[in-house]
């Protein structure tokens, strides 16, 4: 289908509210109204999703389980049930399909929809978003937040404005003002490290970003500069892709201070492996090759890998391989500022999550 001009498009970004935790609270009345975390609470565990009750204490996704428990001593940890999440996600996708076939899943719990030319012939994307949210609530017992706008960038930002169970609409005439007040750290595509670099240059908001010309941004941010330049102006012509087969699944951690000690490095690889396994299970994309990535204090990057004849289907094997790849490089010539672990050469089993890698900041 030919993509209509950017200003005429109608894009919805739907993001389920605390999806995994909400499914658990829906299915177990004893968990309702209580702070829960889906994931592991042990020394190597990682929070996959926290309920809104837990978020009041500062518990967040990708947080080590031990830290989450310190923040919220009454936190209840629940083992992930990915089959239940996939079942709920399939129900939600079926609701989307009543309105459009142009659906780009980002994960089990969020997706872009292009409803410019929708099946029911509804002129208002806002009405469609309201109907979708109502159907999700009635048919799954879950709540969703939605952002409606004329491009993907703003629709995604808008979906986060009135969470949980909210709706935000940004019209073409409102896009520039919406982006002007947006903190740069919230802009999709600006990671934690880039956000700190921008803040060091006095760039805190979209308005600050817009005040810098393209040569300035190119000088400081290289090839990413055109994206930032256009994002500050509310411009994004990326189409909604109906399906993309991912080639790898990976998790990276960037550290505020370089890591040198072997115990600290091994502990981080184990934590990354736990987070990566959650992502692998969620996406059902099991890989035959495990890849370790190390970025040193001088920004030099090395990768090391190990391949297997069959896909890695055990979290213990994944962690064991990560540790072995790391220990083969010890002692490191200098401190590590980033560690990453990924699986490549994937065997897809109806992968539900074609999104980008998960990036954490410690």
State the binding site for Mg(2+): 15, 109
Binding site, annotated residues = 15, 109
The active-site residue out of 110, 268, 270, 353 is: 110
Please state whether 259 falls in left (phi above 0), alpha (psi between -120 and 50) or beta.
Answer: beta
The full 3-state SS of 23-42, as one line of letters, equals: HHHHHCHHHCCCCEEEECCC
Helix count and strand count (H, E) for the chain: 13, 13
Nearest by Cα to 13 from 350, 240, 246: 240
Any catalytic annotation for residue 353?
A: no
* Beta-sheet strands, E only, within the chain: 11-16, 36-39, 47-50, 76-78, 103-107, 110-114, 144-149, 167-169, 248-259, 285-296, 301-307, 336-348, 358-361
Cis peptide bond N-terminal to 331, omega within 30: yes
What does the DSSP assignment read for 259-309?
A: E--HHHHHHHHHHHHHHHHHHHHHHTEEEEEEEEEEEETTS-EEEEEEE-S
Catalytic (active-site) positions: 110
């Amino acid at each position: 289908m030919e993509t209509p001009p950017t200003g005429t498009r109608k894009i919805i970004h739907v993001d389920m509210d605390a999806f995994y935790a909400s499914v658990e609270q829906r299915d177990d009345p004893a968990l309702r109204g209580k702070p829960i975390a889906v994931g592991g609470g042990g020394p190597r565990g990682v929070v996959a999703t926290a309920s809104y009750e837990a978020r009041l204490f500062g518990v967040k996704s990708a947080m080590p389980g031990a830290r989450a428990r310190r923040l919220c001593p009454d936190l209840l940890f629940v083992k992930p049930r990915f089959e239940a999440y996939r079942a709920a996600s399939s129900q939600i996708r079926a609701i989307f399909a009543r309105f459009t076939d142009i659906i780009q899943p980002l994960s089990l719990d969020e997706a872009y929809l292009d409803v410019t030319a929708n099946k029911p012939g509804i002129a208002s994307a806002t009405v469609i978003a309201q109907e979708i949210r109502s159907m999700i609530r009635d048919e799954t017992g879950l709540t969703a937040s939605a952002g409606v706008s004329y491009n993907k960038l703003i629709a995604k930002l808008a979906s986060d404005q009135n969470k949980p169970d909210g709706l935000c609409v940004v019209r073409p005439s409102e896009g520039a003002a919406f982006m002007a007040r947006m903190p740069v750290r919230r802009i999709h595509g600006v990671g934690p490290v880039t956000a700190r670099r921008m803040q060091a240059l006095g760039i805190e908001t979209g308005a600050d970003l817009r005040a810098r010309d393209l040569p300035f941004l190119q000088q400081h941010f290289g090839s990413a500069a055109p994206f930032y330049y256009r994002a500050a102006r509310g411009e994004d012509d990326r189409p909604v892709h109906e399906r993309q087969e991912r080639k790898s699944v990976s998790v990276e951690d960037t550290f505020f201070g370089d890591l040198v000690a072997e115990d600290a490095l091994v502990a981080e690889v184990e934590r990354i492996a736990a987070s990566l396994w959650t992502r692998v299970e969620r996406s059902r994309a099991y890989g035959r090759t495990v890849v370790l990535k190390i970025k040193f204090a001088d920004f030099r990057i090395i990768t090391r890998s190990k391949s297997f004849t069959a896909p890695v289907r055990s979290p213990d094997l994944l962690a064991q391989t990560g540790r072995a790849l790391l220990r083969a490089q010890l002692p490191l010539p200098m401190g590590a500022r980033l560690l990453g672990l990924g699986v490549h050469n994937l065997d897809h089993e109806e992968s539900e999550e074609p999104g980008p890698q998960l990036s954490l900041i410690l």
